[in-house]
Chains A and B, each alone.
Chain A
Amino acid sequence: MAGSGYKGANIDDVDHFLKGGGIDSEREQAIGQHIGYRYDVNLLPDYDRLTPFLRDYIEFMGWDDLNWLEDVHMGYDDGQAAVFDRNINGWVAIPEDMELPDNQQDRDMIAREMLIKFQMSPDHPMVDLYKAYRKF
């Protein structure tokens, strides 16, 4: 169905991009490079799968739900699980030794939790950018 999933192939295996890098279509094989999203950007969160950390984060921010994190999913970069950090315009790789759940919804919750931990860290690149470029 249009718009419901990844373009280029029907992905039934949650580990598809971890196993093969996602070079599926004829075009992708021709250029040797996967093109397109490595996850379904339209996948809505299943709130039954919220982690305790995310519940605490939501409460801290004064929100009633995941808010901007609804758009965060676990993606796959170079055959490795990763989450895209919009604040650095790059992928943050999930530790290779982390055992991933067997479904995308639970993986997305992990990705959300790890992204918060990364963005709020004093080591995050935005800390230096803020010092250098803040306007007010």
Chain B
Amino acid sequence: MKLESKIPEGPLAEKWARQKFALKLVNPANKRKYDIIVVGTGLAGASAAASLAELGYNVKAFCFQDSPRRAHSIAAQGGINAAKNYQNDGDSVFRLFYDTIKGGDYRAREGNVHRLAEVSVNIIDQCVAQGVPFAREYGGTLANRSFGGAQVSRTFYARGQTGQQLLLGAYSALSRQVANGKVKLYPRTEMLDLVVQDGKARGIVTRNLITGKIESHSGHAVLLCTGGYGNVFYLSTNAMGSNVTAAWRAHKKGAAFANPCFTQIHPTCIPVSGHYQSKLTLMSESLRNDGRVWAPKAKEDAEKIQKGQMKPTDLAEADRDYFLERKYPAFGNLVPRDVASRNAKYVCDEGRGVSKTGLAVYLDFADAIKRDGQKTIEAKYGNLFEMYEKITGENPYELPMMIYPAVHYTMGGLWVDYNLMTSIPGLYALGEANFSDHGANRLGASALMQGLADGYFVIPYTVGDYLATIGPADKIPVDAPVFKEAEEKVTAQINQLISIKGERPVDELHKELGHIMWEYCGMSRNAEGLQIAKQKIQALKKEFWSNVKIMGGPEEMNQALEQASRVADFIELGELMVDDALNRDESCGGHFREEYQTPDGEALRDDANYAYVAAWEFQGENKPELLNKEVLEFENVKLTQRSYK
């Protein structure tokens, strides 16, 4: 497979402007002759569907939830970055670009990341114009806060519900286009296959989740805005329904999957409480602005706390280890997520963890409350504190919060070029579903930025170039053989799943996959463990396809069937993640291979051999995938050992 990144020539700051001029346009009167399929209605999908419909294209938007407003972008808490420099504290487009490239441990494309930083300022303008109620200062200007991996305040927020407000903004724009008749919505509808003919994406096959009916939809272009695959770990901060199915089935039709092993473990989540646990809840990174992370210095004290013989508030200041402040004085509690997570793990590995399980550290607001008063802290984080209390039954104003890292975001995803097109012409991937902007680690408040950048400000330009090239006639009707074959294949797989009638519920098999992934391909990995994981996943795949138990039939609302079809894809993806992690003999960002670390335990990159994007190409069922490499070129930043000290 030939991977052409299509990054335009010229100086970094001019690339996007040059590209916008070079891209072909579709005449306004011709736009109505094109049909675009958008799968997923989160920030990327809803913003893309709305913007394309405003331009005049006919859009069909699909989501598995009952309404586009429920997509998991809604759960993002802390904020969205933009290089507005409203605070006059030295921010700029270049600094946001630089922080993002560095934060991603130099495994992202310069051109894409710079474009992201450029359009970040337009996103804030757009959202404010839609009526998104961002936090304000008394004078009426927009407020900002700081986030990890940055030394400027560039994060815009709407209390602890920024994702919700941005998504509702995009959803309102989408709803307006539905009313205009330019978008047709398909809620409770799941994409189960991509249809490709003559090397181009032609449409999708879906299942109506209420009736079970399998249907085809034809379009000139297909946009996958289907989010990340964190649920491969079973326990994650993702919504229960978040899945990789659309991306994975496109992968099996020829779309390369890039850097699958790059997953982000978020340092501040509420720790696991029992085996029945179904998901993990994130506590926003913004809490690290005011909360101090610590663990007891002595193992003995930690043990007393674990057994409930001592309260954290009883431990003297001198007996506490504020390990992030100690190790990283310059960034302190605001080091990037991968660094914060790993250090929490080290502390717990040393036996200094707290909570009943010993798998937690403290995030303490006592100093902030003393300094600013409880009212101020309540105004900033009230809803997060409430959420914590509801889940744990403890009052975080009185006792420090307990936190532990959890899977949160996946930097890997479908490979895309500068125009967000995958390796299948006509198939695009936007937002978390693609791999392009965050390298090996994403900075906080950058996911919302990327989703909206792709949907509002990139795809409306780039998709036109492809459509103008193929022309309106280049579309295949849904009764064409290629659609019928895809429908038959999808139906056969569903019938097969139901006919297994084994002994084990889907959830149990999914949990087993999650344990394997977390144990061997989680916060830190090594070659030996990854080999074990590979065998275990292969065995699990056999077990799944011979022993899964699904009640109910195919032609009705059947949630176990939905989950089974998603877990089947997660199992295959899990194996590819392990292959990718094994291939990458270096540590970078969220990918920490124990064999490759500096003497003080930081990630040790190997730029000479691994400064590339690993794009995996499907070769057929049960065959090893083929590795393609896109070499990353850095002309504007110097690759250094990331230091936050």
A and B physically associate: no
**Interface set of A (CB-CB < 8 Å, partner B):** none
**Interface set of B (CB-CB < 8 Å, partner A):** none
